[in-house]
Amino acid sequence: MDPTMTNHVVTLIPPAGPKRVRRSAKYTKGRSSRSIWSLRDESISEEEKKLFYYFQTCPSLPSLRTEFRNKNCNNGNLNICAETEEITGRSLLHCIGLNERLIMVSTGGSDAAISQINRFIMQELIPGYPSAVTEEDNNNFIPFTEIIIEWVNNRRDTRKSKIAADDLQTISTRAMPRMVEWSLEILSEILDSDLSGDASPQSSFTSIDTSNISYQDLNLFGSLHSARMSPKHTGRKNIMGKQISSMHRPFHREIIVRKIAAIPHLLEELLLIEDKEQLHHIFELSIVRKALLFGTESFGDGKWLIKMLDAAIKVNDSSMIAFSSHREVSDPGFQFAEDECRFLAEAAIFYLECVSKVNIFDDLRVFHKIQFSRKVFPNKKGSRVLSKSDVQQFQECRDELFHNVTALEGLVRRISVMDDDLVKRASVTKVLCRKLDKSISSDFAAALALFDGINHILLVVTFRLGPAEALFYLSRADESFKPHQYIIANVVLVASIVYFATRTIYSNKAKYALSHRLFWSGLFSGSNFLDVVPLVMVLFCIFFTDIILRQRACKETDKFNIIPWPGRIAVALTTPFLWFRILNYIKIRNKHLATVILCFNQL
């Protein structure tokens, strides 16, 4: 007889909940004893071994359910849900999470059939031993995560082999297998379920922040919770005719989220799913939102996002650029690289959109509090039980996440050179709104805009006071000519030209470093034309006018004081081109300002 039960009187069970038995000493080293369910010390029987194998290979849910119920009834006080396989350390929950035949063959991928499997797991397997959802096997995998980790590793290994063997260096990926998608779905269902509903009144009462709940509500909470306590909530629970403990650790959500967030490269691989419908479905799952989007652990140092943007800009290889190689734009290989470039860019922008959409329900502590309050206070809305500390904690966590993303060096610069539609999508995300807000309102940005504006004004004014005015004073005896004004105007004019030319050169140099194709496509653009041509024309007018003045000064007669036609034409064309350059500058600034205003409207 179980020593913990005498004459139907339940003795105290430690708060950590019931522990499971590992039958082999090989796997119990450093672990506490798990004999709360049984005093058997012998090895697992052949029938039990068959049950683990059956759960991992059986393609029929009715057969699986029947076998489970029969074994559960025939084992007396032994809870088979708490048992683990000797060799692998897997529980029944681990095994069913690896049963691809059950998910893929018997259901055919049907949502209705898979929902029956989910119901069996949520209503029979997990209630039999709730702590199984956080128990690790011998490989430190919790249930339903092993198939996800294998999928990530296989995809990365396949991609590395393709990069080594394929000149195209493709990084495209296929759609996520249904088995992996189901694993994320069932983990989300476990995460959203109230597995701690059978906890004692004291533990339930202390698990919620009562700083924003009235004294009457607290009294009502105690009375309601006591009234709802059925006999199965008094420390014993009837599962399949057996009485077991129902204590469950309330932090199962934190364990699951931490385990999922710790899977290397999972977030990257999810973003590289090609099927758009499946991609949006995956990123709507609560396990993905809480573990991968809201947490900072999965984001890491963020270098993977920068590498993704770099690969998108460079189209994976500079040799694929038609402008810098013998390949034509119509080349299928070049078109393939174009598709890969677009795919990577969209994946990066999609991540920024998802991160910007995180809300307070993605905070585990707040989510647990709201879910618990709905059970205790069904007539109250979840937002009414939130305190200021809850909102403050969420904002601090979100600000930390946003800071980690926006602190990446060169993030905005890389996004700004992408396609216009992607730039617009990125500019309205909250995470970039914050970055642009800080950038546009910084002292450096304001000083730079002011300095550019002053130089544009000086460029026009000094041109009119220097070469343009001197062209009409060709006579040596013309007393209205002001040489000091001419010299000063020319010096300031040359300084402005050097400033703008230096900025243009460095801007094009940065584009060339990012992408050769980006450089060549922007070199002959209208904006670049209005930046460079007016400066060249001003230089031509300066040297032409100076040469004419020197020649006339050396002559003893004013016979040839007629203004040359090349000078007239050069000055006449340069003046409107300078104004066009100012209009182009205003247009660019207005575009940036419009982006910021659009960001503010979105906020």
DSSP-derived letter for residue 409 is T
Q: Is the CB of residue 38 less than 8 Å from the CB of residue 2?
A: yes
Q: Is the pLDDT of residue 285 over 90?
A: yes
CA atoms of 369 and 361, how far apart (whole Å): 10
DSSP-derived letter for residue 471 is T
Looking at residue 212, its pLDDT comes to 42
pLDDT band at 245 (very low <50, low <70, confident <90, very high): very low
Looking at residue 221, its pLDDT comes to 35
Residue 430's φ and ψ, nearest 5 degrees, are -65, -35
CA atoms of 229 and 17, how far apart (whole Å): 19
Place of tokens 């000055």: 571
Looking at residue 95, its pLDDT comes to 92
CA atoms of 237 and 239, how far apart (whole Å): 6
CA atoms of 224 and 202, how far apart (whole Å): 13
CA atoms of 508 and 516, how far apart (whole Å): 10
Range of weakest confidence among 24-33, 271-280, 392-401: 24-33
Q: What angle do CA 173, 185, 269 make, to 5 degrees?
A: 25
Mean pLDDT rounded to a whole number for the chain: 72
Residue 343, Cβ density class (10 Å: 0-12 exposed, 13-18 middle, ≥19 buried):
middle
Half-sphere exposure of 142 (CA within 13 A, CB side): 23
Residue 106's φ and ψ, nearest 5 degrees, are -70, -35
Q: 160: how many CB neighbours lie within 10 A of its CB?
A: 10
CA atoms of 234 and 86, how far apart (whole Å): 33
| Model pLDDT for residues 45-84, shown as the tens digit of each residue | 455 558 888 898 888 888 888 888 888 787 766 788 888 8
Residue 244's φ and ψ, nearest 5 degrees, are -135, 165
Place of tokens 């919770």: 225
From its phi and psi, is residue 547 left (phi > 0), alpha (psi between -120 and 50) or beta?
alpha
| Chain centre to alpha carbon of residue 551 | 67
| Model pLDDT for residues 214-239, shown as the tens digit of each residue | 434 434 333 333 333 333 333 333 33
- Using only C-alpha atoms, the chain has a radius of gyration, in whole angstroms, of 36
State the alpha helices, DSSP H only, in 407-466: 411-416, 420-427, 430-440, 443-465
Nearest to 415 by CA among 405, 404, 403: 405
- Find the largest Cα–Cα distance for the chain: 132
Looking at residue 219, its pLDDT comes to 40
CA atoms of 73 and 434, how far apart (whole Å): 60
Q: Is the CB of residue 264 less than 8 Å from the CB of residue 299?
A: no
CA atoms of 413 and 510, how far apart (whole Å): 10
The first and second tokens of residue 308, run together, are 């993704």
Give the predicted TM-score (pTM) of the model.
0.63
The first and second tokens of residue 489, run together, are 């105007």
Q: 241: how many CB neighbours lie within 10 A of its CB?
A: 9
Half-sphere exposure of 460 (CA within 13 A, CB side): 14
Q: Is the pLDDT of residue 295 over 90?
A: no
From its phi and psi, is residue 305 left (phi > 0), alpha (psi between -120 and 50) or beta?
alpha
178-192 and 146-165 helices, crossing angle to 10°: 140
| Model pLDDT for residues 433-444, shown as the tens digit of each residue | 888 777 766 777
| Model pLDDT for residues 94-121, shown as the tens digit of each residue | 999 999 888 887 677 678 888 999 999 9
The first and second tokens of residue 595, run together, are 């982006």
For 211-307, list the strands marked E by DSSP.
237-239, 242-244
Between 407 and 381, residue with greater pLDDT: 407
| Model pLDDT for residues 504-519, shown as the tens digit of each residue | 888 888 777 766 666 7
For 306-314, what is the mean pLDDT?
A: 80
pLDDT band at 409 (very low <50, low <70, confident <90, very high): confident
| Model pLDDT for residues 455-504, shown as the tens digit of each residue | 888 888 898 888 888 877 665 555 667 788 888 988 999 999 999 888 88
Looking at residue 323, its pLDDT comes to 33
Q: Is the CB of residue 515 less than 8 Å from the CB of residue 314?
A: yes
- Concatenating the DSSP letter of every residue in 284-346 gives TSHHHIIIIIS-STTTTTSHHHHHHHHHHHHTT-GGG-GGGSS--TT-HHHHHHHHHHHHHHH
| Model pLDDT for residues 554-595, shown as the tens digit of each residue | 765 555 566 778 878 888 888 888 888 888 887 776 655 555
For 414-439, what is the mean pLDDT?
A: 81
The first and second tokens of residue 349, run together, are 């922008």
